[in-house]
């Protein structure tokens, strides 16, 4: 059984929750990445991505690997539940995957959209991922 990973930008609701948890965060603009920013991040990182695009407002999946022939099987399943296009903000999460790879992807996305919060469903401890992670 794997861990599910929630991703969230540093919006007003998230910053209140982080403050209540005693977790510090940078005071920087943050937003959901666009579809093209997600695709560009995967490409810029040189990752292998097997994409399933089910059309507008349907689930979009990317099975991401360090390399197709990676013997250590470092992969992550990135999900956009309601893909609305390359130029629109996309809510996303990860269904299972290699934690360092997930952090690497989010760090790359943070270059474009600001810090993102990563929360696993096992212990619900939030971690703020910035462009320097």
Give per-residue pLDDT as tens, 71-90. Answer: 677 999 999 999 999 999 99
Q: What are phi and psi of 91, to 5 degrees?
A: -75, 135
Where does residue 80 rank: exposed (0-12), middle (13-18), buried (19+ CB within 10 A)? buried
Task: At 88, list the tokens.
Answer: 């629109």
Q: What DSSP character marks residue 89?
A: B
Give the pTM: 0.93
Task: At 123, list the tokens.
Answer: 């212990």
Q: What is the pLDDT along the chain (133 residues), one digit of tens a residue?
A: 578 999 999 999 999 999 999 999 999 999 999 999 999 999 999 999 999 999 889 999 999 998 766 667 799 999 999 999 999 999 999 999 999 999 999 999 999 999 999 999 988 889 999 998 6
Nearest to 3 by CA among 93, 102, 120, 116: 120
Q: Is 19 left (phi over 0), alpha (psi -120 to 50) or beta?
A: alpha
Within a 10 A sphere around the Cβ of 2, how many other Cβ atoms?
Answer: 14
Task: At 1, list the tokens.
Answer: 């059984």
- C-alpha radius of gyration, the chain, whole number: 14
Nearest to 6 by CA among 129, 131, 111, 88: 129
């Amino acid at each position: 059984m794997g861990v599910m990973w929630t991703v969230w930008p540093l919006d007003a609701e998230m910053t209140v929750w982080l403050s209540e948890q005693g977790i510090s965060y940078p005071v920087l603009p943050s937003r959901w990445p666009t579809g093209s920013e997600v695709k560009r991040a995967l490409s810029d990182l040189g990752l292998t991505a097997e994409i399933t695009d089910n059309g507008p407002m349907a689930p979009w999946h990317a099975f991401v690997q360090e390399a197709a022939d990676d013997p250590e099987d470092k992969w992550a399943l990135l999900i956009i539940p309601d893909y609305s296009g390359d130029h629109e903000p996309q809510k996303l999460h990860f269904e299972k995957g290699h934690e360092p790879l997930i952090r690497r992807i989010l760090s790359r996305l943070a270059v474009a959209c600001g810090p993102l919060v990563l929360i696993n469903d096992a212990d619900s401890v939030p971690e703020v991922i910035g462009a320097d992670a």
